[in-house]
Structure 1
Amino acid sequence: MKHYDAIVIGSGQAGSPLCKKLAKQGKKTALIERRYIGGTCVNDGCTPTKTWLGSAKAAYNAQHAKHVGVHVDGYHVDLKKIKHRKEEIVLKSRNGSLKSMEQTPNLDIYFAEASFTGHKTLKLKLNNGGEEELSADLIFINVGAAPAIPDIEGLKDIDYLTSTGILELEEIPGHLAILGGSYIALEFAQMFRRFGSKVTILERGPRIMSHEDDDIADEIARILREEEISILTDTHATRFSKDSEGITIDFKTQDQHGTLNATHVLVATGRKPQTEKLGMDKTGVTLTEKCFIPVNNKLETVVPGIYALGDVNGGPAFTHISYNDYTIVYRNLFEGANLTTTGRPVPYCMFTDPQLGRIGITEKQAREQGYNYKAVKLSMKHVARAVELGDTRGMMKAIVDLDTRKILGAAILGEEGGEVVSVLQMAMMGGITYDEIRYCVFAHPTYSESLNNLFMQLD
């Protein structure tokens, strides 16, 4: 058995930088990766999907350029070229990270499936054959999550797509049916509609985007329906069947049954932690009911020296949170910090077009938590920059505490919504009041400048 000072399982956005930092601190370190360096973000998530979304945006612009006096005739979507561009970008990032790791002293890389055999011991099934046994004083788990597949009759027999498999398509689906109505589902829905597919969303709940306020979710639904995306809410798929003509989906709503014919089905109903084969029970760690690895606010399990970072610990499932987990653990271990996850900001952005940038709490949460609050809104039709560029879809919304005059949360649904909401995040982190923002001097004409007008409504 080989003994290391530290073992990192998984090379996601926490594991990749952490293994190099540990090695550079003189720790004899092993990185174990089951598939590709970079984890979901680089290989199946952020990098490839946002590359495809860039192509979808170009197709939309070509179709709608006439509204600003530019006529684009005869454009077509080349999905094979879009896929090739995506693969080039992914490989550049993946291979760059691998090369950097290979050049790091004190760092050994194993491509293998890891499972615990004891308290801090692991057995590796190497991808190229054979086995290894490792142990370490410190173990960091960053294995991430994978698509969760619901148990619906016939689903496993129809060659369904997930957020990973759909990125391997080289032909545009004729009719793409999507199970789920949240962030991943909506990004793919709009993307493939712009590529030319007919798209139908089947959402089990009463509306899409169940974690957002009603007005934000309704505006997103309106935008998607303007692009002729069909959204069926309160709709449960009950059976799938396949024949030579395609896929038949039986579904039920609150008061009726129906059928839908599609060529492809994308399952986007959530994700589950990849803990099934880890053997965490051998370490003394008991998984949660949903199979996450429980940790304290310093990301350590009940076993001292074993940490879980990123999606696998059940925290916010975002790349930037995984990376922040890494910075907390590393700085606590080697810089004498006393950092925790308690109270950290959790911004996120859904990359539909327009984007939805979010920070802080929603209006619903402010009401439930008993704040003396007010919600202010501004349609993008009243944002000068949006008018000038010819895209006034969406709205700005902020929740403020009337007692402290500080911002509790914000949703920016508009072009560059993720960038605008970052301005409000920094204001929240710095304790800046809405009075200071509404009288702040922003460059003209920018989207952020309209934060003046948003908060002017609080006179």
Structure 2
Amino acid sequence: MPTSYDVLIIGSGQAGNPLATAFSKAGRTVALVEENHLGGSCINYGCSPTKALLASAERAHQLRTASEYGMADVEPQIDFRAVIARKDTLVKHSREGVRHNLEEEQTGITVLHGHAAFTGPRTMQVQLVGGKTREIEAPLIFLNTGTRAALPELEGLADVPYLTTTELLDLRELPEHLLILGGGYIGLEFGQMFRRFGSQVTIIESHRNLLEREDDDVCAAMQEMLEAEGIEFVLGAKARRVTRNAEGQITLSAHTRTGERRLRGTHLLVATGRVPNSDKLGLKTVGIKTDEKGYIQVNSRLETAAKGVYALGDVHGGPQFTHISYDDYRVVRDGLLHGKWRSAKQRPLPYTVFTEPQLGRIGLNEQQAKEQGIEYRVGKMPVRTIGRARETGRETGFWKVLVDKQDRVLGAAILGAEGGEIMTMFQLVMMGRLTYPQLQNMIIAHPTWAEGLNNVFSKLQ
């Protein structure tokens, strides 16, 4: 006979964990099933470990460029195993924190390790680690199973020891020459990281620009910034074949606008996107629909076609960011526990590319404004014009803002030091519906990065 719970959550990511806690505090019994490590992608192979490694890479870069600040340059001796060990310590601490919260701090939560699949409406079978199975039923089921690395149809890939981001995070030796297939934000962050650790890096991208969501000027500036650090880009390249010789050298053949290129390296990172972990959940058993890529289809309340079954986080498609997954939790928490529903289809999308300097983005860019037929003016200001930039020597990049006919901010792209933090200031401005003259006349402490809010709008055209 099935074991009954009030709530069944599949996946312990950034939506599943807090939801389990919220229902537990509301007096509901909760079963949470996790197939891999507790904490989901962010803690285990996403945000936390990559940002920890980026911090080490930035420190190495500071040593190499110390002469810019009146000190002798130092070529850092990279102890890559120690770098990875620092990352592992942070990940372990986060995992233990999640486990402590779910298993010790809360009452009414049962954590199960295994794989779950539907066997009928509101019923799932869990294949536990160790071989046993359990049948669980619940009136509310939440699918928070995330995504995994997408693999391109590339001849020879199965015969080459390629890396996804998950495997790359666990390397113990620094690559001599890292080939990165994919020029999205993941490829750029890892590219700069390993270049600063001392690897040669080549990034191969099928589109003519990096970062397909961004305007051309942002893409060009990002490319120029990374090329200045020694990263090679091969854009508009269709990867056709990959091989590995007896000495371990990897060769990637790609068709480009200038002809066939043969790119050689010691390691290959595949960073060509993600696919949802929806294919082994038994969705057809209960009539849950997916799109052509396998992402679970949901309504504005994140409910699937099966009543009482919700999909949270990356598995339902759309922007794949931790903060969006966490907001999914808030949407269903407020709706189901407090009767206050809001649409998950209409919300702001802030995000940051954690290169150094960062790219912070909120709202519309120029291309999106044109596609939507919105009249706008654009202001663009070099970072070097901000006093704080000159004083700290962090002058790379620019601020770009769009305003509408009512003088309100439509969007911003901040490519520069603390880009993500500054972008959030613009997000607050947009939420408060302030007009740009209010920002121009606001008294802002000197010397701060925020002073750019006084000045960027003087560039409006």
Calculate the TM-score normalised by the size of structure 1.
0.98
Q: Alpha-carbon deviation of 1:436?
A: 0.8
8 A contact 1:119–1:284 mirrored in 2: no
The answer to whether the aligner puts 1:358 opposite 2:361 as a matched pair is yes
Q: Alpha-carbon deviation of 1:211?
A: 0.9
- Counterparts of 1:125 and 1:214, CA distance in 2: 49
For residue 272 of structure 1, what is the amino acid of its counterpart? V
The answer to whether the aligner puts 1:370 opposite 2:354 as a matched pair is no
For residue 100 of structure 1, what is the amino acid of its counterpart? N
- Counterparts of 1:342 and 1:143, CA distance in 2: 20
Q: Alpha-carbon deviation of 1:105?
A: 1.1
Give unmatched runs, 5+ long, in structure 1.
Answer: none
- Counterparts of 1:431 and 1:233, CA distance in 2: 39
For residue 417 of structure 1, what is the amino acid of its counterpart? G
Q: Deviations for 1:352-382, whole angstroms, at most 9, x for unmatched residues? A: 0000000001111111211110111001121
- Counterparts of 1:118 and 1:99, CA distance in 2: 32
For residue 302 of structure 2, what is the amino acid of its counterpart? L
- Counterparts of 2:347 and 2:378, CA distance in 1: 23
Q: Secondary structure of the residue that 2:139 maps to in structure 1?
A: strand
The residue that corresponds to 1:148 in the other structure is: 150
Q: Alpha-carbon deviation of 1:75?
A: 2.2
8 A contact 2:379–2:458 mirrored in 1: no
For residue 206 of structure 1, what is the amino acid of its counterpart? R
The answer to whether the aligner puts 1:58 opposite 2:64 as a matched pair is no
Q: Deviations for 1:327-358, whole angstroms, at most 9, x for unmatched residues? A: 11001111121222243111000000000000
Q: Alpha-carbon deviation of 1:73?
A: 2.8
Q: Secondary structure of the residue that 2:380 maps to in structure 1?
A: strand
- Structure 1 stretches of 4+ with a deviation exceeding 4 A read none
8 A contact 1:175–1:264 mirrored in 2: yes
The residue that corresponds to 1:329 in the other structure is: 332
Superposition map of 1:19-168 within 5 A: 19-103=20-104, 104-168=106-170
The residue that corresponds to 1:219 in the other structure is: 221
The residue that corresponds to 1:427 in the other structure is: 429
Deviates more, 1:68-77 or 1:245-254: 68-77
Q: Deviations for 1:21-56, whole angstroms, at most 9, x for unmatched residues? A: 111211111000000110000000000000000001
Q: Secondary structure of the residue that 2:138 maps to in structure 1?
A: strand
For residue 118 of structure 2, what is the amino acid of its counterpart? F
- Counterparts of 1:116 and 1:303, CA distance in 2: 11
For residue 29 of structure 2, what is the amino acid of its counterpart? K
The answer to whether the aligner puts 1:443 opposite 2:445 as a matched pair is yes
- Counterparts of 2:312 and 2:144, CA distance in 1: 5
The residue that corresponds to 1:182 in the other structure is: 184
- Counterparts of 2:182 and 2:240, CA distance in 1: 14
Q: Secondary structure of the residue that 2:67 maps to in structure 1?
A: helix
- Counterparts of 2:299 and 2:75, CA distance in 1: 57
- Counterparts of 1:8 and 1:179, CA distance in 2: 34
Give unmatched runs, 5+ long, in structure 2.
Answer: none
Q: Alpha-carbon deviation of 1:254?
A: 2.5
Q: Alpha-carbon deviation of 1:255?
A: 4.2
Work out which of the residue numbers 355, 373, 379 in structure 1 matches 2:382. Answer: 379
Supply the RMSD in Å over aligned alpha carbons.
1.0
Work out which of the residue numbers 172, 182, 195 in structure 2 matches 1:170. Answer: 172
Q: Alpha-carbon deviation of 1:147?
A: 0.7
Change (3 A) 1:363 1:74: closer
The residue that corresponds to 1:338 in the other structure is: 341
Q: Alpha-carbon deviation of 1:284?
A: 1.1
Q: Secondary structure of the residue that 1:199 maps to in structure 2?
A: strand
- Counterparts of 1:74 and 1:428, CA distance in 2: 44
For residue 43 of structure 2, what is the amino acid of its counterpart? V
The residue that corresponds to 1:253 in the other structure is: 256
Q: Secondary structure of the residue that 1:125 maps to in structure 2?
A: strand
The answer to whether the aligner puts 1:191 opposite 2:197 as a matched pair is no
The residue that corresponds to 2:307 in the other structure is: 304
Deviates more, 1:318-327 or 1:429-438: 429-438
Deviates more, 1:419-428 or 1:250-259: 250-259
Q: Alpha-carbon deviation of 1:72?
A: 3.9
The residue that corresponds to 1:232 in the other structure is: 234
For residue 390 of structure 2, what is the amino acid of its counterpart? V
For residue 282 of structure 2, what is the amino acid of its counterpart? G
For residue 62 of structure 2, what is the amino acid of its counterpart? N
The residue that corresponds to 2:204 in the other structure is: 202
Calculate the TM-score normalised by the size of structure 2.
0.98
Q: Secondary structure of the residue that 1:266 maps to in structure 2?
A: strand
For residue 90 of structure 2, what is the amino acid of its counterpart? I
- Counterparts of 1:225 and 1:300, CA distance in 2: 45
For residue 19 of structure 1, what is the amino acid of its counterpart? A
8 A contact 2:289–2:304 mirrored in 1: no
Deviates more, 1:30-39 or 1:17-26: 17-26
The residue that corresponds to 1:389 in the other structure is: 392
The answer to whether the aligner puts 1:316 opposite 2:305 as a matched pair is no
Q: Alpha-carbon deviation of 1:59?
A: 0.7
For residue 77 of structure 1, what is the amino acid of its counterpart? I
8 A contact 2:353–2:360 mirrored in 1: yes
For residue 35 of structure 1, what is the amino acid of its counterpart? N
Q: Deviations for 1:231-257, whole angstroms, at most 9, x for unmatched residues? A: 000111111111133111111113411
Q: Alpha-carbon deviation of 1:457?
A: 2.3
For residue 12 of structure 2, what is the amino acid of its counterpart? S
Deviates more, 1:247-256 or 1:201-210: 247-256
